[in-house]
Amino acid sequence: MAVAVVWQSVPLIQSQLLSRQAEPRIVVARGNLAEDEVATIELFRTARDSVVFISTAERVIDPWTRNVYDQPRGTGSGFVWDELGHVVTNAHVVEGASRATVRLADGRSFSASLVGADPSHDLAVLRIGVAASRPDPLPIGTSGDLEVGQTVFAIGNPFGLDWTLTRGIVSALDRELPAGRGMVITGLIQTDAAINPGNSGGPLLDSAGLLVGVNTAIFSPSGTNAGIGFAVPVDTVNRVVPQLIASGRYAPPTLGVRTDPRVDALAARSNIEGVVVLGVERGSAADRAGIVPAEISRDGQIVPRDVIRSVGNIEVASTQDLVAALDGFEVGEEVTLRLWRGGDEREVEVTLDAGR
């Protein structure tokens, strides 16, 4: 039996293939997102408008023409603090800048004025004049009750990629970082939420969308995220920022004593535990409490009298420890000092003075 063979031309076959390829594919419904995804999306939508992009410039003089112009210096992040247009960021974001511009999430840009800065905590406050449609301030949480393993979120502008959200956990608490000029920032939150250059000054939020820290630094051999970032805890922010707004500077409480890190080392080698008091300001908290400073012997040796061993429940072994301990209290607050003198210990109550 003969078989009829029908040959199709190549163009006809191609048109049939294209016809089949052009047919729409079946779309599968996404379904409901997981609860944690929905919560994260809502957190970002709620907080985004309160986060700002900060760009700074430095005024330079052309050595040949003597013309003065602004040269771009860097970028960073920040967030709206209150209804008065105050914006919180890192001190290092605006350090050395002659001009700062704050851009809001809705695209508006404002020239900012510097209200005050505190390098010892790497915090600064700017102010912008937002006449209408002011962004809401971020709601403030607490950091004293943070737990390692708790979920946190960072929002900022890494590498100029504006309004970026990253997620991680609290990796550790009470970390320390050198801040330059002999200063050390204490009590930092460590997180593995991705933080990169440009994130500085942006908020660290908990899963409720509350501010728990201000992103400030990373530890990385390459200069990019390595899973070790640090944030200034919000309890510190909430203590420092109101003073910066009120007076332009932060003055921690003080005892009115004079100490010296070099003497701390000498005392440690002599098995003296604590901070040797070298001087007491007249009329200060220490003077009112009857604290006695060290004396100088005839042969020029320091003879310790009162040695501070603890402030409240915080033990101190160096001048740095003492400064950090006092920073956790308020001016006018009454605290207990544990003192050592000649082998005997005693406790005295002092009312802290304002620093100068």
Given 86, 92, 118, 121, the catalytic residue: 92
Instruction: Tell me the Ramachandran region of residue 166: left when phi exceeds 0, alpha when psi lies from -120 to 50, beta otherwise.
Output: beta
CA distance 215 to 229: 8
Residue 147 DSSP SS3: coil
- Enclosing H/E stretch for 344: strand 344-351
| Cα 115 to chain centroid, rounded | 17
CA distance 78 to 165: 14
The two tokens of residue 103 are: 């851009």
- Enclosing H/E stretch for 44: helix 35-48
Residue type, 335: V
DSSP state of 277: -
Residue type, 34: A
Given 77, 171, 200, 284, the catalytic residue: 200
Given 50, 77, 120, 122, the catalytic residue: 122
122, 185 contact by CB (below 8 A): yes
Does residue 92 carry a catalytic annotation? yes
Does residue 122 carry a catalytic annotation? yes
153, 45 contact by CB (below 8 A): no
CA distance 1 to 9: 25
Does residue 200 carry a catalytic annotation? yes
Residue 17 DSSP SS3: helix
The two tokens of residue 315 are: 């033990």
User: Three-state secondary structure along 73-132?
Assistant: EEEEEEEECCCCCEEEECHHHHCCCCEEEEECCCCCEEEEEEEEEECCCCEEEEECCCCC
> 189 - beta bridge partners?
231
What's the full length of the chain, in residues? 356
Looking at 149-284, list the stretches that DSSP marks H as alpha helix, in order from N- to C-terminal side. Answer: 234-247, 261-269
Q: List, by residue number, the catalytic residues.
A: 92, 122, 200
